[in-house]
């Protein structure tokens, strides 16, 4: 790329890159990263830094360690992968003391740059593959001709070398150069942080931080710069979320107060609420009694009794004639909710509140009846799936929107339902516990309530890892255990990661972090497991059926209903049964290839048993070797039944992208330096500063630089994106 910078142009964050770098380079950056403005480019921070000090010779490279090598490409080859489609690019490099192989999966394009004879700096973790040392997907920076003949060795000695996220078209060193050109001419950069906070937190001025993160003279420089810029990110995001929350709360809603009806309902329950349920319900009642919309998330362990709290809230709303809508993620759950709401209300309340169900699979006449009941206000509770979001669904007085298991829904859906009332109160239920500081980022615009305790009398669940690698002969024992429970009149689940050997489940069951592992195994599937179980003598009297995502939903529901009724002994399923299924007689959960599921997912699945009077047993079957991350997940689940502890472990084991919901999350959320998984304390601190600043000055009239920075970093879409999940 060649740089053209026109004299006299004043360069600020909102200057077009083309004005500084020229059209060609600007185009290259736009197509590589979508950047058009100076502010976007300067926020392209190095992924890491290399220094000469850490350079190692190939001969001395220890396996399992990070190494940075200066070396020359010796040979390059591409081959197909044995067990799956795709290619492996193998590049052999040498530094004169030895050879190391670099491998890249499905990145054959890199062969264009990595040609024999080229020199560069290569950094990555040294692994062993078939006895040879290799670096899989290393970071690298190739030297251009100029540097090849270099006299810059001395400067190198202490200067950290920034290594940038790069693409096929724009290499790390090209990013460094483009940034150099821009930083040379960049004017003063406005500081989003109020001066008193900057002083208290010992932050650098913005301009200096940008300079030092991209062109550090020594390690200390980029570390301090990064701390400053990370604080900026956290603070600006929290300001946006606090603003949004204040704005949402400024709308006028109908206040809903709990009266004798709610009292009577609670008195009619066959159990007393746990103290956690009581305090969460009290928080909800407090919120709804105000003439502003409630926006509350209730998180609670699987089986902690969130649903009954939601039903009590619906009864409260109905006391002033208001209606409630409950949105469930699947047909099966919508039905289950509907049935359990009817049962929980009891015959009298059920008759007066007239709950109706709306799903995509009802007969036309039923749908018409339900639509009418909702529109006339006669149905005080409307339970449904996505069908609820249809334009045909209207309410006379929608007072409360309840969203169950909300990690399955996006903010658009929450919004679509909310639009059907006049700023109705919103209650979101989730069984995936989230550590508080993460909740502050991901659910920044919601108030969070937590149900920690599980109703007493719940039976314990014992969890065992069945490691087939260590004990292959344990497999038959798994089925014996299942058969023993069935023989006692109990029921069981067998969960597998795929539908058939060639059709993986359609959702997120399969852990994509294993993509790079070449030795793909054939995973346990519904198609193979059902006949296997039916063929076992010890299960010859058992009725065994399958449920998975590709079944028509009425069939799925029929099976689950029959299972609920006790007519089916064993259900072989994919993760479609993960959320919310409540069958008290089920006592055994077998999960095959358990390592293919995430920690929270395993925990959720396990929560399907031990819900009645029988102790539960959960068998996590895995062929994974000890000391692998996948095995660690499985062992973690076996070690504790505390969902919050598991959520924390899950966060540590998962990548950031998984937490925020997709791999592009860094870009979309405006978070590139902050890690919600690790920066809890920082987020906490930023939150309290942000609350102070925004509550004192909601429109940020006195903080114009902050207001501009919020607008620049976080377009509406990305705030929505974060508020989602």
* Nearer CB in complex with ligand ADP: 557/709: 557
Beta-strand relationship, 544-547 and 570-573: parallel
Residue 592 interacts, among ligand ADP, Mg ion, none and using kind-specific CB cut-offs from 5 to 8 Å, with none
Residues 576-605, mask of contacts with ligand ADP (x by CB under 6 A)? ------x-----------------------
* Nearer CB in complex with ligand ADP: 274/359: 274
Least distance CB 615 / ligand ADP (angstroms) = 16
Residue 718 interacts, among Mg ion, ligand ADP, none and using kind-specific CB cut-offs from 5 to 8 Å, with none
Helix/strand/coil percentages in the chain, nearest 5: 45, 20, 35
* Nearer CB in complex with ligand ADP: 245/608: 608
CA-wise closest residue to 266 among 299, 328, 311: 311
* Nearer CB in complex with ligand ADP: 455/566: 455
Least distance CB 404 / ligand ADP (angstroms) = 8
Chain residues 422-441 in contact with ligand ADP, contact rule CB under 6 A = 431
**What is the C-alpha to C-alpha distance for residues 603 and 584, in angstroms, rounded to an integer?**
17
> Residue ranges of the alpha helices (H) in 591-642?
599-606, 629-639
CA dihedral of 666, 668, 670, 673, whole degrees rounded to 10:
0
**What is the C-alpha to C-alpha distance for residues 322 and 102, in angstroms, rounded to an integer?**
64
Candidate ranges 298-306, 314-322, 415-423, 714-722; the one touching ligand ADP (CB under 6 A):
298-306
* Nearer CB in complex with ligand ADP: 307/313: 307
Q: Which two tokens stand for residue 186?
A: 């960049």
Q: Does 455 bind ligand ADP (CB under 6 A)?
A: yes
Least distance CB 281 / ligand ADP (angstroms) = 11
**What is the C-alpha to C-alpha distance for residues 405 and 337, in angstroms, rounded to an integer?**
12
* Nearer CB in complex with ligand ADP: 274/449: 274
Q: Are 347 and 272 in contact (CB under 8 A)?
A: no
Q: Binding residue for Mg ion (CB under 5 A) from 39, 46, 549, 580?
A: 580
Least distance CB 456 / ligand ADP (angstroms) = 7
For 213, list phi and psi in degrees, rounded to 5. -75, -30
Residue nearest to Mg ion (CB): 580
**CB neighbours of 122 closer than 8 A, spacing ≥ 6?**
68, 69, 70, 71, 93, 100, 102, 135, 138, 139, 140
Least distance CB 306 / Mg ion (angstroms) = 6
- How many CB atoms within 10 Å of residue 8? 5
Q: Binding residue for ligand ADP (CB under 6 A) from 174, 304, 574, 600?
A: 304
For 56, list phi and psi in degrees, rounded to 5. -125, 160
* Nearer CB in complex with ligand ADP: 331/511: 331
Residue indicated by tokens 């054939």:
522
Candidate ranges 61-69, 289-297, 306-314, 561-569; the one touching ligand ADP (CB under 6 A):
306-314
Candidate ranges 305-313, 357-365, 391-399, 417-425; the one touching ligand ADP (CB under 6 A):
305-313
Distances from the Cα of 308 to the Cα of 264, 279, 438, 560, angstroms: 14, 13, 26, 21
Residue 304 interacts, among Mg ion, ligand ADP, none and using kind-specific CB cut-offs from 5 to 8 Å, with ligand ADP
* Nearer CB in complex with ligand ADP: 266/653: 266
Residue 271 interacts, among Mg ion, ligand ADP, none and using kind-specific CB cut-offs from 5 to 8 Å, with ligand ADP
Least distance CB 584 / ligand ADP (angstroms) = 7
Q: Does 100 bind ligand ADP (CB under 6 A)?
A: no
Residue 303 interacts, among Mg ion, ligand ADP, none and using kind-specific CB cut-offs from 5 to 8 Å, with ligand ADP
Q: Binding residue for ligand ADP (CB under 6 A) from 303, 355, 421, 680?
A: 303
DSSP state of 615: P
Question: Residue 514 class from Cβ within 10 Å (0-12 exposed, 13-18 middle, 19+ buried)?
Answer: middle
**What is the C-alpha to C-alpha distance for residues 226 and 207, in angstroms, rounded to an integer?**
12
CA-wise closest residue to 551 among 390, 330, 337: 330
Beta bridge partners of 75: 92
* Nearer CB in complex with ligand ADP: 611/687: 611
Least distance CB 554 / ligand ADP (angstroms) = 23
Task: Determine the angle formed by the axes of helices 206-214 and 219-249, rounding to 10 degrees.
Answer: 130
Residue 109 interacts, among Mg ion, ligand ADP, none and using kind-specific CB cut-offs from 5 to 8 Å, with none
Least distance CB 336 / ligand ADP (angstroms) = 9
DSSP state of 460: P
Least distance CB 343 / ligand ADP (angstroms) = 9
- Compute how many residues bind ligand ADP; rule: CB under 6 A: 15
* Nearer CB in complex with ligand ADP: 298/690: 298
Least distance CB 586 / ligand ADP (angstroms) = 12
Least distance CB 571 / ligand ADP (angstroms) = 18
Chain residues 289-318 in contact with Mg ion, contact rule CB under 5 A = 307
CA-wise closest residue to 453 among 600, 284, 276: 276
**What is the C-alpha to C-alpha distance for residues 477 and 442, in angstroms, rounded to an integer?**
43
**What is the C-alpha to C-alpha distance for residues 593 and 168, in angstroms, rounded to an integer?**
36
**CB neighbours of 133 closer than 8 A, spacing ≥ 6?**
61, 63, 100, 101, 126, 127
Least distance CB 385 / ligand ADP (angstroms) = 17
* Nearer CB in complex with Mg ion: 580/610: 580
Q: Are 580 and 431 in contact (CB under 8 A)?
A: yes
Report CA torsion sign: 434, 439, 445, 448: positive
Residues 249-288, mask of contacts with ligand ADP (x by CB under 6 A)? ----------------------x-xx--x-----------
* Nearer CB in complex with Mg ion: 239/302: 302
Q: Does 306 bind ligand ADP (CB under 6 A)?
A: yes
Q: Are 529 and 494 in contact (CB under 8 A)?
A: yes
List contacts with Mg ion (CB under 5 A).
307, 580
List contacts with ligand ADP (CB under 6 A).
271, 273-274, 277, 300, 302-308, 431, 455, 582
């Amino acid at each position: 790329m060649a740089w053209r910078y026109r004299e006299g142009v004043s360069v600020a964050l909102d200057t077009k890159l083309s004005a500084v770098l020229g059209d060609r380079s600007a185009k290259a950056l736009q197509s590589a990263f979508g950047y058009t403005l100076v502010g976007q480019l300067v926020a392209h921070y190095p992924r890491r830094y290399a220094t000469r000090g850490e350079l190692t010779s190939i001969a001395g490279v220890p396996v399992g360690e990070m190494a940075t090598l200066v070396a020359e490409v010796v040979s390059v080859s591409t081959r197909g992968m044995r067990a799956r489609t795709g290619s492996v690019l193998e590049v052999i490099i040498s530094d004169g003391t030895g050879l190391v192989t670099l491998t890249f999966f499905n990145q054959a394009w890199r062969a264009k740059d990595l040609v024999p004879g080229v020199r560069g700096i290569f950094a990555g973790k040294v692994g062993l593959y078939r006895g040879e040392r290799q670096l899989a997907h290393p970071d690298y920076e190739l030297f251009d001709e100029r540097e090849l003949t270099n006299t810059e060795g001395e400067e190198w000695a202490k200067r950290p070398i920034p290594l940038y996220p790069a693409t096929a078209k724009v290499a790390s060193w090209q990013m460094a150069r483009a940034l150099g050109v821009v930083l040379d001419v960049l004017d003063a950069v406005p500081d989003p942080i109020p001066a008193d906070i900057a002083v208290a937190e010992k932050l650098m001025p913005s301009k200096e931080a940008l300079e030092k993160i991209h062109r550090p003279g020594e390690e200390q420089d980029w570390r301090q710069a990064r701390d400053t810029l990370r604080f900026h990110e956290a603070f600006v995001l929290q300001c946006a979320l606090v603003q949004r929350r204040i704005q949402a709360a400024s709308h006028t809603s109908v206040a809903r107060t709990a009266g004798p009806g709610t009292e009577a309902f609670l008195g009619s329950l066959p159990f007393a609420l746990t103290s956690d349920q009581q305090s969460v319900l009290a928080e909800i009642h407090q919120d709804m009694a105000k003439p502003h919309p409630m926006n509350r998330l209730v998180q609670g362990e699987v089986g902690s009794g969130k649903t009954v709290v939601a039903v009590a809230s619906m009864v409260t709303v109905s006391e002033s004639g208001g209606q409630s809508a409950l949105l469930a993620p699947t047909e099966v759950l919508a039905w289950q909710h509907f049935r359990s709401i009817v049962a929980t209300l009891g015959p009298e309340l059920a008759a007066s509140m007239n709950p109706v169900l709306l799903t995509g699979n009802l007969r036309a006449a039923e749908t018409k009846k339900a639509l009418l009941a909702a529109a006339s206000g006669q149905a005080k509770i409307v339970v449904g799936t996505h069908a609820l979001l249809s334009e045909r669904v209207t309410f006379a007085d929608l007072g409360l929107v309840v969203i169950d298991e909300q990690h399955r829904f996006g903010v658009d859906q929450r919004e679509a339902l909310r639009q059907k009332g006049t700023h109705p109160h919103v209650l979101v239920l989730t069984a995936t516990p989230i550590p508080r500081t993460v909740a502050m980022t991901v659910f920044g615009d919601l108030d969070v309530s937590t149900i920690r305790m599980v109703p007493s009398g719940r039976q314990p669940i014992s969890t065992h890892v069945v490691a087939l690698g260590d004990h292959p002969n344990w497999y038959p024992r798994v089925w014996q255990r299942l058969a023993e429970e069935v023989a006692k009149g109990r029921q069981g689940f067998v969960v597998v990661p795929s539908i058939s050997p060639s059709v993986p489940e359609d959702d997120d069951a399969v852990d994509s972090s294993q993509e790079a592992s070449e030795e793909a195994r054939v995973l346990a599937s519904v198609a193979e497991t059902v006949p296997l179980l039916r063929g076992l003598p010890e299960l010859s009297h058992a009725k065994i059926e399958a449920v998975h995502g590709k079944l028509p939903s009425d069939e799925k529901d029929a099976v689950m209903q029959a299972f609920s009724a006790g007519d089916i002994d064993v259900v072989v399923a994919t993760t479609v049964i993960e959320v919310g299924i409540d069958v008290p007689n089920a006592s055994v959960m077998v999960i095959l290839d358990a390592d293919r599921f995430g920690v929270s997912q395993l925990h959720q699945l396990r929560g399907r048993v031990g819900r009645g009077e029988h102790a539960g047993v959960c068998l996590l079957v895995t062929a994974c070797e000890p000391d692998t991350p996948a095995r660690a997940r499985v062992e973690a689940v076996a070690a504790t039944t505390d969902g919050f502890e598991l959520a924390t472990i899950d966060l540590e084991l998962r990548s950031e992208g998984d937490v925020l919901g997709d791999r592009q999350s860094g870009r979309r959320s405006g978070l590139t330096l902050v890690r919600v998984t690790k920066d809890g304390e920082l987020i906490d601190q930023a939150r309290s500063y942000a609350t102070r600043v925004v509550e004192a000055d909601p429109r940020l009239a006195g903080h114009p630089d902050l207001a501009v920075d919020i607008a620049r970093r976080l377009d509406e879409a990305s705030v929505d994106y974060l508020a989602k999940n």
